[in-house]
């Protein structure tokens, strides 16, 4: 791939990303929602302990805390905590 082809490819990707951002902004505006890029602010207060454990790298403890708070099975708790974990990065 030569430099011109790479530049054209990157330009198309940039344009596609800009379109997706405009569409996302439109949807959020239409639904009267605000996007917040700090996942910790979106964690319900009752799950704050779970989130804090995840931030400390204590995934198993986070799953146990989630189970204690929600009475969920291990699998349900693990899935929920893993979804929370994905939002940490």
| Rg over CA atoms, the chain | 19
Q: Let me know whether 43 and 29 are in one domain.
A: no
**23-39 tens-digit pLDDT:** 998 998 888 876 656 65
Q: Let me know whether 30 and 42 are in one domain.
A: no
Q: Let me know whether 6 and 43 are in one domain.
A: no
Residue 84 has pLDDT above 50, yes or no: yes
Question: What number of residues does the chain have?
Answer: 89
The helix/strand count (H/E) of the chain reads as 4, 0
**50-78 tens-digit pLDDT:** 989 998 999 999 999 999 999 999 999 99
Q: Which domain holds residue 2?
A: 1-35
15 band by pLDDT with thresholds 50, 70 and 90: very high
Q: Let me know whether 27 and 41 are in one domain.
A: no
Structure tokens at 81: 């905590």
| CA–CA distance, 45 with 69 (Å, rounded to integer) | 12
């Amino acid at each position: 791939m030569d430099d011109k082809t790479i530049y054209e490819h990157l330009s198309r990707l940039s344009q596609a990303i800009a379109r997706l951002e405009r569409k996302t902004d439109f949807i959020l505006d239409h639904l009267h929602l605000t996007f917040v890029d700090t996942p910790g602010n979106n964690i319900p207060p009752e799950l704050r302990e779970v989130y804090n454990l995840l931030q400390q790298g204590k995934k198993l403890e986070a799953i146990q805390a989630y189970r204690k708070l929600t009475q969920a099975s291990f699998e349900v708790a693990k899935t929920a905590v893993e979804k929370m974990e994905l939002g940490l990065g």
